[in-house]
Amino acid sequence: MAENTNRSVFGLNGVTGMLIATVLLLSILAFLTMWGLSVQQKSAQNPYDPTPITSSLDNVKMISKDNAKFAFQPVK
C-alpha cells in the first residue's frame, strides 16, 4: 500500500482553500448587499404617480393592450 506523504495542511485542499472560499463568498455577499442598497435608494428617489389608475378605472378592460396606459408611470 502506498503511503500518502505529500499531504499539506496549507495547500488548496486545506486551510488556504477554506479561507479563499470564505473570502470569496463574503465578497459576493458584500457586493450583492451594496448593489441591493443602491437599487433601493435609486427607486426611493423615483416615486410612481398612481393618478392614472385611480382617475379612470372604469375604462379598464379584462383583456386589452390599452391597459398599459393605466400602469404606474414614474414621476419625472
DSSP string, 33-56: HHHHHHHHHHHHHS-EE-HHHHH-
Write 42-48 long-range contacts (CB < 8 A, 24+). Answer: 46/74, 46/75, 47/74, 47/75, 48/72, 48/73, 48/74, 48/75
Q: Mind listing the pLDDT tens digit for each residue in 13-54?
A: 788 889 999 999 999 999 999 999 999 998 888 776 666 555
Reply yes or no on whether the pLDDT at 12 is more than 70. yes
Q: What angle do CA 21, 27, 29 make, to 5 degrees?
A: 105
- pTM score over 0.75: no
The pLDDT-based confidence of 8 (bands split at 50, 70, 90) is: confident
